[in-house]
Structure 1
Amino acid sequence: MTKVIYEKRNSIAYITLNRPEVHNAIDQETDELLFEAWTEFRQDADARVAILTGSGDKTFCAGADLKSHVDPWLTAGPELGRSLLEKGFAGRITRGLHRTPKPIIAALNGWVIGGGIELALACDIRVASDRANFGFFHMRRGMHFADGGIVRLVNTCGVGIAMELELMGEPIDAQRAKEIHLVNRVVPHNDLMTTAEDIAAKILRNPQIAVESAKETILEVVGRPLEDQLRLECLYGYSTMGNPEIVDRKQDFIDKRDEDRVTTKTVTGRPGTD
């Protein structure tokens, strides 16, 4: 049984952690299989969006498999961090392949623990089952995030929330995760994948060049001074204007042929004009 399942349907790549017997924990082999999956997704021109989830109904990912990771770390010495700078975690998606321009949606189907939180944060949009919980238990074992978890937690939720979650080491449920913007949506468990696929479909209806440029712009401006942010947004945004799809979609709009035209009726439910 493969530890990572990679499938592609209708421009969506489905990546599934497949070790339910150990709560989808990531050992060395799983890490390498994830690297292969992320690389295939990045290089496949027909795969435009990825949905990442875990097998089973209990756990999205329990983080690093401590049986295969911790012992080598304990004996590595002071150069451990430097040796792992380019590797990151979960197939290098947390650091190394983190600038993949294609959108990645995390469908969080159960417990998200330790490095599993880092993996979820490395995705662009997070949808959580109402059964999901987030365990910051690594602090109780004497470790804190080292593969992007603290950085992305600060960028996503703010300093105060990052301090609370990381220093206390307490779990939170899906609703609390939504309140602090750790996840975008919380949905009934049985609606999780259909919701993720609906988000993917809405992304896919947009021109790929614009989608990928927008993602790159967002990642590029995080943490920079305002003037740098404004400059980068301008440079990235206007670089998409050579896209020939813009001409066709502009004409559809002018001729009132665009399918998603917003009308008064669309917004209020009452008849109106464009």
Structure 2
Amino acid sequence: MADDILYETVGPIRIITINRPSKMNSLDFSANDKLINAFKMFDEDNEARVAIITGSGSDSFCAGADLKSYTLEFATTPPDQFHTKYTNGYGLGGITRNLNINKPIIASINGYAMSGGFEIALACDIRICSDNAIFALQDVKWGFHACDGALVRLPHIIGLTHTMEMFLTGNRYDSTWAEKVGLVNTVVDQSSLMDKCLEMANLIATRSPTAIQLGKETIFHALGRPLSDGLQFESTSFRKLGDNNDLIEGTRAFAEKREPTFK
């Protein structure tokens, strides 16, 4: 049997693929644990600059948790165990809750991004999708609501009006709508999707990894906090750059009129 989660190294890029196409790349408990471990590997790898997450095949990015083997057991866990294992543990795929990675993550959305799969995409920093991509929060159709970040992240990304429509109706939305409301950065043909994601990832990989990681941490720290708190955190974060070789290389490259090489 093929591995449910594939992990590929392409220079400074790590491509993580959910490899369950017969299940629309949905996640059962085992596949979810493997996906969490893949993101941990990326986070701990000093040579890895950017991750791309995608789904196997050309039909589905990720259909979320496998309803037949995951959702009911998950939702009916006794409250004390639920809070220990899930509320205070990792969300779906890890990156949706409590696995905080300050390196950039790109979602290469190659088809259906449904419910929990949609939430994994929302937890990424950049979303690039194919023209056949479909997005939905269908949880309310089956008796529950999203619990891995959609209700928290989505209003920040597309605003309250569009969020409420997606949540309340459970309807499906295409790539044209997604680009119009700012859900995705770019829409491309299916055949060029991974090339576009790699192009973006390789560009990001040439930038200062220290500045990127501190900057990403600052952006997410400031969300929902008072402006004064965010400004203080930003200033403190900036000062940390002064003790790092990236700043030395960057200013030297600027003076020498060349592209910097960050290590």
Q: Which moved more, 1:88-97 or 1:59-68?
A: 88-97
Cα root mean square deviation, aligned: 1.6
Q: Which moved more, 1:34-43 or 1:18-27?
A: 34-43
Counterpart of 1:24 in structure 2 is 25
- Note the C-alpha offset of 1:117: 0.7
Counterpart of 1:127 in structure 2 is 128
- Note the C-alpha offset of 1:74: 5.1
Counterpart of 2:92 in structure 1 is 90
Counterpart of 1:64 in structure 2 is 65
- Secondary structure in structure 2 of the residue aligned to 1:147: coil
- Note the C-alpha offset of 1:247: 2.4
Counterpart of 1:188 in structure 2 is 189
C-alpha distance in structure 2 between counterparts of 1:34 and 1:2, whole Å: 11
Query: TM-score, normalised on structure 1?
Result: 0.89
Q: Which moved more, 1:149-158 or 1:54-63?
A: 149-158
- Note the C-alpha offset of 1:249: 2.6
For each residue in 1:217-239, what CA deviation from the matched residue of structure 2 results, as whole angstroms up to 9, or x when unmatched? Answer: 11111111111111111111222
- Note the C-alpha offset of 1:49: 0.8
C-alpha distance in structure 1 between counterparts of 2:72 and 2:258, whole Å: 62
Counterpart of 2:224 in structure 1 is 223
Aligned positions of 1:247-266 closer than 5 A: 247-258=248-259
Aligned positions of 1:1-274 closer than 5 A: 1-73=2-74, 75-79=76-80, 81-83=82-84, 84-97=86-99, 99-258=100-259
Counterpart of 1:268 in structure 2 is none
Q: Report the AA paired with residue 71 of structure 1.
A: L
Stretches of structure 1 that go unaligned for 5 or more consecutive residues are 260-274
C-alpha distance in structure 1 between counterparts of 2:190 and 2:158, whole Å: 24
Which has more radius of gyration? Answer: 1
How has the CA–CA distance of structure 1 residues 72 and 245 changed in structure 2, closer, same or farther, with 3 Å as cutoff? closer
What number of residue pairs does the alignment pair up? 258
For each residue in 1:183-233, what CA deviation from the matched residue of structure 2 results, as whole angstroms up to 9, or x when unmatched? Answer: 111111111111111111111111111111111111111111111111111
- Note the C-alpha offset of 1:77: 4.1
